[in-house]
């Protein structure tokens, strides 16, 4: 094995092609870690009023539910956008 440094800009031959984590994956991991710390620091119970329901829930549960709902809306918007784009591409190919 050579002890000479690799020239700058050369790919690492020991790392398989495409095995680096994407920026989105790194951002997701950091976001989940921050969310987890935030949830663990907010464990007290609160009274929640929604229309005619009154429930006592832990704050971490509200935070988790809100994050989950936001993620589902984000995914649904992406699916909707992808379907619209595919439909437009199909129509453009027919024309």
pLDDT reading at 2 higher than 60: no
Instruction: Tell me the average pLDDT across 75-92.
Output: 92
* CA 82 to chain CA centroid, nearest Å: 17
Q: DSSP code of 12?
A: P
The reported pTM is 0.64
Element (H, E) at 74: helix 59-94
Q: Does the structure show a pLDDT above 70 at 79?
A: yes
Kind and range of the H or E run holding 32: helix 23-40
The 10s digit of each residue's pLDDT in 24-49 is 889 999 999 999 999 999 999 999 99
Mean pLDDT across the chain: 87
């Amino acid at each position: 094995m050579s002890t000479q440094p690799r020239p700058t800009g050369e790919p690492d031959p020991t790392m398989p092609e495409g095995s680096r984590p994407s920026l989105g994956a790194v951002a997701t991991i950091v976001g989940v870690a921050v969310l987890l710390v935030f949830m663990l620091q907010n464990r007290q119970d609160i009274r929640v009023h929604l229309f005619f329901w009154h429930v006592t829930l832990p704050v971490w549960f509200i935070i988790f539910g809100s994050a989950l709902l936001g993620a589902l809306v984000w995914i649904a918007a992406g699916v909707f956008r992808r379907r619209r784009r595919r439909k437009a591409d199909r129509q453009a190919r027919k024309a």
